[in-house]
Chain A
Amino acid sequence: MNSPERSRSFFRFAAPHNFYPLAGRLAPWFGAAAVVLTLVGLWLAFFVAPTDATQGQVYRVIFIHVPAAWMSMFIYLVMALWSAVGLVMNTRLSFVVSQALAPTGAMFCFVALWTGALWGKPTWGAYWVWDARLTSQLLLLFLYFGFIALTRAIEDPRRADRAGAIIALVGAVNVPIIYFSVKWWNTLHQGASVSLTKAPSMAATMLAGMLVMAFAAWAYTLAVVLWRVRPMILERERHAEWVGGVLEREAQIKGGRA
């Protein structure tokens, strides 16, 4: 523990005492990238991208809605992946990362649902329809809530890690089943009111704005997760010697600035 091996391997960052400073160094860069990309993306979205011929100005919500929806699904997959890695390789850091991802995933899920409702009212005439995409997104939000609630309810971190990992994996197996069952249910009950897949071809600037916003969401997620992982590592490793050293050094830096 006290002497971090100087191996060149990428895997040395799997050790919390190596990952902690790395996360601290990387997080501000991703944060800055997120701010810059968001500003560029919003500028493209509101000033460059043309008004949509059929939907008018309302469509501009997709610049937030679509990246949020992508991110919410992707984060769940990453969460399940780290859970699997943690269960198989028995690495503590994997569980920490998967738990740090969950609130951000739930947040993006909620943003996607909320902006979707705001877009749905003027376009479909209703805040909510039981469309397959909407419904499976809602169920994904519940899966996030279940994961967060379970990992927070168990006090022993070892048990919380593993129990959370199992429910994340069970959820990941079920996500496609839920999606297709909801899709089928939906087509049996009512015709889809508006098909998003048959959207008219997008102007290049619209696509560019959406992609920039998607990258902004990536950078934001990385920054927030790295930032969230740091105190979690300190809390879990508080009995290790290196934590004391780190805290003293940080206190000195803070004292020097004041």
Chain B
Amino acid sequence: MLSTFFAVLRRDLLLAWRGRADVLVTLAFFVIVVCLFPFGVGAEPNQLRAIAPGVLWVAALLACLLSLHRLFAQDHADGTLEQLLLSSEPAALWVAAKVLAFWLSTGLPVVAVAPGLALLLDLEQGALPVLVLSLALGTPILGLLGAVGAALTLGLRGGGMLLALLVLPLFVPVLIFGAGAIEAEMSGTGAAAHLLLLGGGLAGALALAPWACAAALRIATD
């Protein structure tokens, strides 16, 4: 069973590596969205510092949302998805592998770039580890929830907008606890509670989302 998991993981990572441009576009999007905020709200350092957690989190969330459609679209188009569904391996397993590969190729770069961007917004240096940790715990939840939405909207006209409408309300708790962790750290109350809740959310999503996503994929390819 684990060999299936690693085979799918390796295949998807390899595909992501061959199409590096897509990953770089996601990163560039993340960077540009963050850089737009000073133009919109003014370059006052105190204000930027105050909104930095929210800005970084919203930008990471949007970057994740915009790359979600890639998760299954290509496999759906070339028939790989149907073959995977026909195979005797449990669908939740390779769905989890695909989501992990997706997170490694789009979530992880975002997490890695975020501290650099935080410096642009003059975020306190002490809050940087919490920023990285909250993104590292939160973006996989976005990927797991988003995978369900991506599977449901597979192959639909205007699927991108529909996907946003479906998953953005579900992303709200992640955004609240993710940005809240950094703010709590900055205000001195400590980020432990927020990070623990994010970890719990990740465990819950990891347990439930692959099943829902596999069911959605079966419906989509029926």
Contact = CB atoms under 8 A, between A and B. Distances in A.
Interface of A: 139, 142-143, 145-146, 149-150, 153-154, 158-159, 162-163, 166-167, 169-171, 173-174, 177-178, 181-182, 184-185, 188
30 contacts: A139-B172, A142-B169, A146-B162, A146-B165, A146-B166, A149-B165, A150-B152, A150-B166, A153-B153, A153-B157, A153-B158, A158-B222, A159-B222, A162-B222, A163-B219, A166-B148, A166-B152, A166-B216, A166-B219, A167-B148, A169-B212, A170-B145, A173-B208, A174-B169, A174-B173, A178-B170, A178-B172, A181-B176, A182-B176, A184-B180
Query: Considering residues A170, A173, A177, A188, which has the most beta carbons from chain B within 10 angstroms of its beta carbon?
Result: A170
Given A166-B212, A185-B176, A150 B169 contact: no
B169 A143 contact: yes
B166 A167 contact: yes
Interface of B: 145, 148-149, 152-153, 156-159, 162, 165-166, 168-170, 172-173, 176-177, 180, 183-184, 201, 208, 212, 215-216, 219-220, 222
Given A150-B162, A166-B212, A182 B152 contact: no
A126 B28 CA distance: 39
A167 B166 CA distance: 8
A142 B168 contact: yes
A145 B148 contact: no
Contact of A153 (B162, B172, B183, B222): B162
A154 B176 CA distance: 32
A225 to B, nearest CB: 23
Given A166-B212, A167-B166, A188-B180, A150 B153 contact: yes
Contacts of B156: 153-154
A144 B135 CA distance: 28
Nearest to A156: B222
A169 B219 CA distance: 15
A185 to B, nearest CB: 4
B177 A167 contact: no
Closest 5 CB pairs of A and B: A181-B173, A142-B169, A162-B219, A185-B176, A146-B166
Given A153-B156, A170-B148, A174-B170, A163 B220 contact: yes
B216 A181 contact: no
A109 to B, nearest CB: 12
Nearest to A154: B156
Given A143-B169, A169-B212, A184-B176, 19 more contacts: A142-B169, A146-B165, A146-B166, A146-B169, A149-B165, A150-B153, A153-B153, A162-B222, A167-B166, A170-B212, A171-B170, A173-B208, A174-B173, A178-B172, A182-B172, A182-B176, A184-B180, A185-B180, A188-B183
